Chain A
Amino acid sequence: MSSAPQLLGPAEARAMQDSSNKVAVLVAGLAGAAAGLVALVVMLLSVRLSVTNAARRLEQPESQTSKVAIADHAEASYCTPRFKEVLRRVLHSCGLADTGTRRGCQPTDVKTFASISDEDFNQLFAPLKERGGVIMFDSGKSDLDQDAKKLLEERWLDRRGARYFFVVARGSRTGTQARNRQLSHERANSVLFFLKELSRDDPDLDKKVGMLWLGKEYAQLSADYCTWPVSRPGKKCDQEAINRSAFVSWVDCRL
C-alpha cells in the first residue's frame, strides 16, 4: 500500500484528490443540511407549540378574572334604606322615574305615598343641609329674585355624581289651604322653569328633577331651618318666611 502513490500519475492523483474533495463536500453538505433541518424542525415545533398553547388558553376562560367596576351614580352616607324608600316611592308616584305624563306631587299625594310623618319627612332631608339650599319667596309670590337665582344656579351646577334634583316647595300658614297649594305649585314651577333656562340644551332635564309641592298642610319647616343656606341670608327669617320657599338639592343616592 505504501508504494501505491508511486503507481499513480499526476492526472490520476488529481482525479483521486477531486473525488476525495467531492466526497468531503458532499459530507459537509449533508451535515449542513442535517444541521439546518434540525434547527428548522426545532424552530417549527416551537412555533406550533406556542400558537397551539395560546389557542388552548384562549378557549379556557381565565379562572381569576378581576371584576371591573361599572360606572354608577354617587351613593352618599345619608342614603339610608328608609330615605331611599321614601324617595323611591315619591319618585315613582310623582311620575319622574317612569317618565310618565304626571308631573310632580301634590301634598295629599306625598302624604299618601311617603307614608311618613311630617317630622320624619323633614328629618330625612336633614343630611342635605350643606348640599341643598332654601329658595325664599315674597308673601303670596312665586317669582325668583336675583339672590334666589344665584343660589339655585350655584346648587344646580354642583351636581357631582347625583342622579336626581329635588324641589320641595311649600307655602306658609297664612292664607287658605287651596291658595297655598297653588302658591307652592307655582314656586316649584318657577324653580323648574329657571332650571330649564339654565339647561336649554338638556333634553333629559325632566328626568332629573323631582318636584313636590306641599302647600301648608304637610311637613312645614320650623324656624331652625333659617340656619340652612338660604337665598336671603341676613334678612328676617321666621317660620312664616322659611315656609314661603322651595328647598332644592341634588340627592346623591342610587335609587
Chain B
Amino acid sequence: MSVASPRLPAVIALVGALLGLIFATTSTVDYAAHLDRRLHEVHCSVIPGAPAKPEAEAEGCRAAMYSPYSAVLKEQFWGGLPVSLPAQGAFAFFAGFAVFLLLAGPRASKTALIFMAATGTTPLLVSLVMFLISVIQLGTICETCMGIYLASLLVAGGGLLGLRALRRSPTDQSEHPTGEPLLALLWLATLALVTLAPVAVYAASMPDHRPYLRGCGKLSKPQARPGLLLSLGGSRPAKAALIVADPLCATCKGVHQRLVQERVLDRLAAEVLLFPLDSECNWMLEQPLHPGACVVSRALLCAGDQTRKMLDWAYDEQEYLVQAGKTGVTALREVIRRRWGDAVAACVDDKKTDLRLKEHLHFAVDNSLPVSTPQIYLGGQRLCDEDTDLGLRFALKELAPEVLR
C-alpha cells in the first residue's frame, strides 16, 4: 500500500479509533465504578488492557479523575458525566468509518475522505486542550489520557493522510468519485448521535445519590468559643463551614486544592479546626501518623492574619515538611523559623499555643468527631468523605446551593 492509497490512512485511523475506544472505555469504567461511593483502583497505563493500579501508583490518573475537568454537569449528576463518554462514541464512529474507507479503497468518495479528515481532527483538538489543562492546571499527566491523546493523533493522522489520495499521480488515471455532499450531513448527524449515545446511557443508568448525602453526621456542639478556630476568610462567603484538617495530611491537601479549583473556598465562611494526626500532641493516637503535624499546627495558630497564606504554604510544601517532620521536630521548627520569622517560631514553643491546639482537639471531643482528616461540615452538616471529590459539586448543590451561585 502506498501512502497515496486511501487504505493505509484508513488502517492508521482504524488502529487509532480502536485504541481510543479501549482507553476511553477503560476511563469510563474506572469512573463509573466510583458511583458506588467507594474507593477503587484505577487503570493508569498507555498499554491497552494493563491491570489497574493501587492509589499510590496512579496519582496522575486519580488527580485527573478528581479534577473539575474530568466531567461535565457535575451539579446535575453525582460525579457528572465523564468526558470519556463522548470520546467513546466518537471513536466507535471513527472505527466504523475507517472500516468503510479501508474496504472502499480508491472507490471512496472525495466527500468521505474530506469528511474523515475534517472530523477526524476533532478528537485531536479536544485532546490538545485536555493535555494543556493537565500540564498547566493539574501539573500532571494521566497515562490513560495519554493513550487517548495518542489514539486521537492516529485518527487525525489517518484522516489527513487520506487527503493525499485525492492528489492524482501521473500514472493513476482513476479519480475518486465526488460523492454526495448530503451524505456528509448524514454522517455528521450520525457522528453526533453516536457521540451522545453513551452519555445518554450513562445518565439514564445513574443511581440517585441524594439519600446518601445527609447520612454522615452533624456537629452536636457547633459553637466554638470566639477566636478559637482559624478563619480562612472567603472573599464572598455564603455559607458557614468547618474544615477539620491536618496540615501534613495528603488528603487534606487534595480536598483543599479541590475547593480552590472548584472556586468553592471563596464562597465559604470557612473555619479550620486543627486535628493533627500526630501523637506528640494528640492523645487519641498511640503513634504519629504525620510526625511534625503538631508543630505545623501550632505555627498555623501563630499565623495571625496570614493563616490562609500559611495553610497554602503548608500544603504546597507538604512533602518537604513531612520529610522535615520525620527528621525531627527541631528541623521542622527551623524550616518554619526561616520562612515565617522568629516571632512565629517563638510562638510555636509557647505553652499557650499548645493549650490552644489542645482546645481544638477538645472541640473535636465535644462534638464526638471521627478521628480522621479531612472532614467538612457545612452549617453543621457533615459532607460525607465520598462527596468531597467526584460528587463535590452535586453534594454542594443539594446541601449548600448558595455556595455555587
Contacts and interface: CB of A to CB of B under 8 A. Distances in A.
Given A157-B354, A159-B355, A35 B95 contact: yes
A68 B362 CA distance: 18
Describe A's contact surface by its main secondary structure: helix
A44 interface: yes
B72 interface: no
A43 B369 contact: no
Contacts of A21: 107, 177
Contacts of B365: 71-73, 161, 163
Contact of B227 (A36, A48, A158, A201): A201
Nearest to B206: A51
A23 to B, nearest CB: 10
Contacts of B96: 32-37, 39-40
B364 interface: yes
Interface in B338-362: 351-352, 354-355, 358, 361-362
A223 interface: no
Contact of A161 (B34, B37, B205, B283): B283
A40 B92 contact: yes
B82 to A, nearest CB: 10
Q: Chain B interface residue count: which class?
A: 35 or more
A71 B177 CA distance: 77
Contacts of A16: none
Interface in A27-57: 27-29, 31-37, 39-40, 43-44, 46-48, 50-55, 57
Contact of B197 (A40, A53, A73): A40
Interface in A42-98: 43-44, 46-48, 50-55, 57-59, 62, 68-74
Given A21-B107, A32-B100, A55 B35 contact: yes
A13 interface: no
Contacts of A252: 283
Interface string B86-104: 0011011101111111111
A204 B226 CA distance: 12
Contacts of A69: 284, 370-371
Interface of B: 21, 25, 28-29, 32-38, 85, 88-89, 91-93, 95-105, 107-109, 177, 194, 197-198, 201-202, 205-207, 209, 212, 225-227, 283-284, 351-352, 354-355, 358, 361-362, 364-365, 367-372
9 contacts: A47-B25, A50-B33, A51-B35, A52-B205, A55-B205, A58-B209, A70-B369, A72-B368, A203-B225
